[in-house]
Structure 1
């Protein structure tokens, strides 16, 4: 009788799975270069036969099975394979021991085992609950359960026994207030199936009841509802909790960082980023400083547009004095952020925007230039907000007027090309400012009639354009999880499963709005007017590796477009269904949605559709839509580390790099690339060192086969225009925007930056962040050591085709940039000669880079503040998804990730 069950190390009895034995033996064979399927089949059969012979009618322990594998490998004369298997087994034991140390527990459960050491370190350092002594008192399983339980709570209150869309019911709210005031007495009293609600989940549930009851939408009283809950009448929603839980622990999707930290906990804030308005009066400015403080205290980030503030030197009517200008108030907000340590997890993150017509725009462009080592505006990303009239002036070579926002009158005229040159120069030198294209953002903005104005601000990393006091509520789906293999081992993408998961994640985010504890009443009100959500993606690079598709290729861009088209289509699909059941977002009827318009560019290009958008829009006009916006691509920093996948929509930073830990150094190898090397018998320490010394790239290494070099490309193997094409391909189908770094090599020129800005706008991007390798760092600190010269990336053939099409369509662009020079890599010969600042100071970074500068002055600019504050480690930040990010712990200046 064949063995059916096996005992795991934690005592669980699970079904016997022959495929796990096959994979372990195959892995060991690959390790020593043995690739023989017939031999593999024989060894597996011998192992299974011996297990059945020795343990007939019993339940063997996993260790017994592994002993048999070792023995049978040696019986078949595969001594080197047996040795590799023993080493692998020993390594697995060491990994288990390391995980136990990280989590401070004796036994690992089935959830702990699913996450890598790296993922568990991130969870332990930033997400799991700790007691007052700093000891972990929560397991990963408990974390994901508290997140899933909270997210399922709205389903109970929207149950047809409870909810009425018409809103004709009156309930006694005094009883509701009683429960809210005494919520701490209801810890673990109520359950949904096997899941207990803690007091904070209970409070959020009652708060949602109150909100719906105030609108007349609750059919039964709060006491009746709680009795129904106590009697198990909502236990069927245990399945919803299980679904959200399984998707997270299987690393299929992850919510943004605040949701993981705050779900079912006292702060209760699930949103990552907010936009705070700031008007041209002291009351508004100080209110903005207050709002920023409250938001960042709770772990959020803020975006502010300073363009309404009168310019420096302008008249102050109440005192007849001179105004200090918008940049002075940016310093005020920066100081507020500086003193707020967000629970020890983050420092403040802001996006500061000034529109291109403002009289102080030149000062703004140079705002982060001076005093390089002293963290000037270190809590800010800054961006210039551009409108169509600036592009027209640039195109025509006409003077561009600067307007005083207080009077609405022209102050002076400037040469737009000169300003554009300065903007590009500072981005080249300092990776700031970025640019935000408000004309593109508002081109398909269906909310303008409802809001009465255009969007003029974004969150700190720019991927979420928001109105005043709106918030972004985000989660990312791991694309790599949908790559499957057919019977012949060929990879394919499971589009139907992907579509189902998109709808589930959209539901998670829609529910999260209802149970979110927003930091300010204005944010609660405005967020719920539009119910904006952002279903995003991560693991793009890993998915392409698995599929054997090069990132910067026509096939790669086609995949990106299709993946985001599916993302938005099925997010809308859920949102329309939710509107039918729960009602559309409150502003729906005042928007352009009822006219059949959508806030996505791809919808207006029917020739590229893969899905029936006309049918979807017909349903949308019939039932409405629950969420005003549904998709975005945020940075995923530590979130992708937890999911053990590549970050956001970025190509991988390095295939191999040296990592320093307390016990020494080792090579980190991308898991998919590692498997490919082992499959081909190429995995050796010598190869790893060569790749590491080649900037983590395999390009130009003769030991690496050409087909591997073709697929396994890194961020710096890809030309900056191909990075732009990736962003534009993804942007085409998003309702909001995408966070992406446009990587340039260290020897890129200001001409390259200018070209990137012009071409990004021409491609329909909503904003762009250019990063020249090394511009973030203080040049004197070189942690890499001597390296071989990096092979210069050239535009892909597809990129060259698109470049030429742009110039044919917009011939004026070629007057400002040289397309042919971009193609052959000679774009820009010299650094412009003009001074970096109006004052003429700080004309080069290196001049300010003395060894005497204290390390503490560099925190927040070059090095990770978390790693530095925790153990004094100087971990250099790198640009990822448009934001400075720590490769070790996942800390990012953007609070989403």
Structure 2
């Protein structure tokens, strides 16, 4: 094993070499290969890649974990650790640990999840800015962040500054959301959870904040709901909101219609899958760390996906156990779950997680040293420095871990159990009970050898429901815990495991398979005698359709004697009877009965001391009443949080290939709901400056509305258009069959002149951005939203930003007069809702302020 710690590992790989190596490792699974290379292969800050196979990564992880193990008695060897990590088969460190362990080229935390925020501090502007800075500082080191807004005073409250009254919660939601969007984390945007108590007087504004689709786009939002509110909903009685929310003598109180507010939550969740719900009394009452609330471990919010409730400045690292790998003889009548091996590996996983806490403390020390050594004055870097010192303190005091699972859906299918049945629910609960007991046994054994977490106190925990379930299930374990303590304050969670499950090639977390199969298309040459044309798109390109299967459904097919190539080429009518024979039939995300899904979550939650990230998928025709029942059942079943996704309420989800509807009604990866482009479009020319250069935008119009946009320098082949105002964009084809967009106009003498190939007349990067904007225009996004989207593009080069401003100017003229401008206040009078579009300019209806271009 070459060790980056000793600067031995110097061989680098090109991106193509790394992808090729990873593709071979994943047996031609290109998605898994690309995910691994882009997110987890060892890299330095310049983007140089030092690994071309996950096997190298697993050796890197095993080497570092074994180094920590060697400090303690009864330690695992490198070979012990490597054997459970390799091939993603048994134990899979997630996210930060996979990326950062053994990486001395980059200074980053190993923690996946953070929560920030001090009670009583962030209600001032100074406090708001401090939280904003802390959020950014954590995100730049790859952390997902959560914080609660319940401490901010409600809208209209008096404040001691020139504003006179508070703006309330919603503007600060947008502030924190925008900060998230600005932070790049190795090519991905940061992740943020914003929460608020239903008791807060601004809760309704919080619930509505994301509904227009243009605000708070950089955050997940969840409402913390208490038992009193749920009882008020069930009994249709008033509910009292107040500020401060926990005060016995609040400065503000009001009664609200609980049922009406509940219906708003339900409607918004039905329509847009947000807000999520956190059943906060359940979270707090079940929380073991809250036994130490007076010592700084009071839970205030969760990480972005909701599976780790945390106190301020605590963090957690995640690891998943691959449940599918413990099924012997999968998909056969002899299938059985290897419980002894699972329990042994769970104990080992908990040890590895504790080792990762040590590695995280080393990483935090390196971060603190870097900040200390940075040349900035202390005044500039003090917030970041103090932030990491607080995180280190919590890490040492609690040694929190996040052992979880993935592949629950595949495990059940491999055991010939149908997800959602009572039999499957009972078996899953048994697995998670054994996981909890084994992990806690491991933590107690470590306390004997390594010492308990510093603030452990058995008296504080003796009434905790989770501790008492462990006591009832294993009295000897509890007796040892009281005697020796426990190494970790809290141990277990179940995360979404999105990219993890791609690399394990299994279902995600405790979720069922999302789809057994779906259709993909590949572009083909219709003149090739070996190709099959199943679909011709709106621009005339030919495509061949083929079936793509969930990885372990392919395993089932092979075990049951099917030829994969033959099945992949089948029509849906031929494929359906085969799927019906499999244990995945009626066990997909949209098929599983929601009642059993929620009950399963509640049953498993009893053996998970943190929380579970889970989404209840319902079909598009699901009613709001049904969503309400799902949430109520979640509360009654002991769930800590729940999110509902109604099929089609958000874009970007894989599309089923169940029985086809008419072609114009069916959507898949390459289909479109955009109006089909006629060969010729009316077009207008808008002139703008890109830095000191003269540029031109050609806007193609469909029924008077922008449909596509082309841009280029007026000095290039567009120069002739400097004196043209209108014309037509005509879609033709080149000799090799590719699309070409020509511009035609009529001169003053009545002659028609054509400029060929607009797409070839300017820099490729501008063309790519213009294609993206055109795609949004074609699919009907309101022009005002397109203007807002383009305005908020964060581009790396200044020339691109000035070009962006020109595109905005070109599109603004097509926004209907009187359309409200979202997310901005008037610079003239500070009115929040006074700005409207008028003749391509932004005008304030309150004070007359106007800005054009």
Pairwise same-fold verdict (TM > 0.5):
yes
- Asked whether the 8 Å contact 1:536–1:632 carries over to 2, the reply is yes
SS at match of 1:770: strand
> 1:320, 1:486 → 2: CA distance?
66
Partner of 1:531 in structure 2? Answer: 399
Separation in 2 of the partners of 1:429 and 1:487? 38
SS at match of 1:559: helix
RMSD of aligned residue pairs (Cα, Å) = 3.6
2:340 to 487, 491, 496: 496
Unaligned runs of 5+ in 1: 1-99, 161-236, 607-611, 790-845, 862-868, 870-897
Asked if 1:312 is matched to 2:144, the reply is no
SS in 1 for 2:286: coil
- Give per-residue Cα distances to partners, 1:54-81, cap 9 Å, x unaligned: xxxxxxxxxxxxxxxxxxxxxxxxxxxx
Query: d(CA) in 2 for partners of 1:269 and 1:633?
Result: 21
| Worse-matched range after superposition: 513-522 or 331-340 | 513-522
Question: What does the per-residue CA deviation read over 1:215-273, in whole Å, with 9 as the maximum and x for residues that have no partner?
Answer: xxxxxxxxxxxxxxxxxxxxxx6x52222222222321211111111112222411101
* CA drift at 1:671: 3.3
Whether contact under 8 Å (2:159, 2:165) holds in the other structure is: yes
Runs of at least 5 residues in structure 2 that lack an aligned partner in the other structure: 1-12, 368-387, 525-543, 663-776, 793-799, 801-853
- Cα deviation digits, residues 359-401 of structure 1 (max 9, x gap): 101111100012x2x3x21111101101122123223332111
3-state SS of 1:400 partner: strand
Pairs within 5 Å for 1:126-137: 126-130=39-43, 134=47, 136-137=49-50
Q: Cα deviations across residues 330-380 of structure 1 (Å, max 9, x unaligned)?
A: 211112111111121x2111111110011101111100012x2x3x21111
Indicate conservation of the 8 Å contact 1:115/1:643, yes or no: no
In the TM superposition, 1:748-827 aligns within 5 A as 748-777=622-651, 787-788=660-661
Could you tell me how far 1:856 is from its partner in structure 2?
A: 9.8
Separation in 2 of the partners of 1:640 and 1:739?
14
- Compared CA separation, residues 705 and 315, structure 1 to 2 (3 A): closer
Q: TM-score, normalised by structure 1?
A: 0.63
- CA change 1:709–1:456 in 2 (3 A) is same
Q: Shift of the alpha carbon at 1:675?
A: 3.6
**How is 1:800-879 mapped onto 2 (pairs within 5 angstroms)?**
850=781
State the distance in 2 between where 1:401 and 1:497 align: 52
- The CA distance in 2 between the partners of 1:397 and 1:488, in whole Å, is 52
Deviation digits for residues 424-478 of structure 1, max 9, x if unmatched?
A: 0000011110110111112222333422275231111111111111112110000
Give the conservation status (yes or no) of the 8 Å contact 2:114–2:315: yes
Checking the alignment, whether the CA contact within 8 Å between 1:450 and 1:590 is kept in structure 2 is no
What SS class does the counterpart of residue 776 from structure 1 fall into?
coil
Matching residue of 2:590: 716
Deviation per CA, 1:747-778, whole angstroms, max 9, x where unpaired? 01110111111110000000101111111129
Bigger relative contact order, structure 1 or 2 (CA pairs below 8 A, ≥6 apart) = 1
Preserved CA contact (<8 Å) 1:446 1:592: no
Per the normalisation by structure 2, the TM-score is 0.66
1:427 and 1:731 mapped to 2: Cα distance? 22
Give the direction of change, closer, same or farther, for the CA distance of 1:115–1:614 in structure 2 (3 Å limit).
farther
CA distance in structure 2 between the partners assigned to 1:303 and 1:851 by the alignment: 31
Q: Is the alpha carbon distance of 1:128 and 1:679 closer, same or farther for their aligned partners in structure 2, counting shifts above 3 Å?
A: closer
1:444 matched to which residue of 2? 286
- Distance in 2 (CA, whole Å) between partners of 1:273 and 1:400 is 33
Q: Distance in 1 between matches of 2:566 and 2:283?
A: 49
Shift of 1:787: 2.9
Q: Is 2:92 the partner of 1:267?
A: no
Q: Residues 249 and 777 (structure 1 numbering): CA distance in 2 closer, same or farther, change over 3 Å?
A: same
Instruction: Name the residue aligned to 1:725.
Output: 599
Match of 2:208 among 350, 366, 374: 366
In structure 2, distance between residues paired with 1:507 and 1:856:
52
CA distance in structure 1 between the partners assigned to 2:162 and 2:20 by the alignment: 69
Cα drift, residue 707 of structure 1: 4.4
Q: Does 1:256 align with 2:94?
A: yes
Of 180, 193, 196, the match for 1:354: 196
Looking at structure 2, the residues matched to 357 and 106 of structure 1 have their Cα atoms a distance apart, in angstroms, of 51
Give the structure 1 partner of residue 70 of structure 2.
Answer: 156
- Structure 1 residue 565: Cα displacement: 0.7
Match of 2:271 in 1: 429
Q: Distance in 2 between the 1:405 and 1:109 partners?
A: 53
Secondary structure of residue in 1 paired with 2:629: helix
> How far did 1:849 drift?
5.1
Instruction: Please list, as runs of the form range in 1=range in 2, the aligned pairs for 1:36-55 lying within 5 A after superposition.
Output: none
1:118 aligns with 2:31: yes
Measured in 2, the distance between the counterparts of 1:669 and 1:853 equals 40
Distance of aligned partners of 1:320 and 1:543 in 2 relative to their CA distance in 1, 3 Å threshold: closer
Alpha-carbon displacement from aligned partner over 1:578-616 (angstroms, at most 9, x marks no partner) = 1111111112127633x3745368548x5xxxxx51111
Count how many residue pairs are aligned between Structure 1 and Structure 2.
612
Kindly indicate whether residue 551 of structure 2 is the aligned counterpart of residue 671 of structure 1: yes
1:411 aligns with 2:253: yes
1:631 counterpart = 2:492: yes
What is the alpha-carbon distance in structure 1 between the residues aligned to residue 155 and residue 354 of structure 2?
43
SS state at 1:537 partner: strand
SS in 2 for 1:573: helix
Q: Partners in 2 of 1:366 and 1:738 — Cα distance?
A: 25
For residue 590 of structure 2, give the secondary structure of its aligned residue in structure 1: helix
User: CA 1:359–1:763 in structure 2 vs 1: closer, same or farther (change >3 Å)?
Assistant: same
Q: Which residue matches 1:510?
A: 354
C-alpha distance in structure 2 between counterparts of 1:782 and 1:249, whole Å? 33
Aligned counterpart, 2:318: 474
Task: Find the residue that maps to 1:716 and give its secondary structure.
Answer: coil
Q: For residues 435 and 469 of structure 1, what CA distance do their matches in structure 2 show?
A: 23
Structure with greater helix share of residues: 1
Aligned mates of 1:783, 1:659 — CA distance in 2: 10
In 1, are the aligned partners of 2:452 and 2:487 still within 8 Å (CA)?
yes
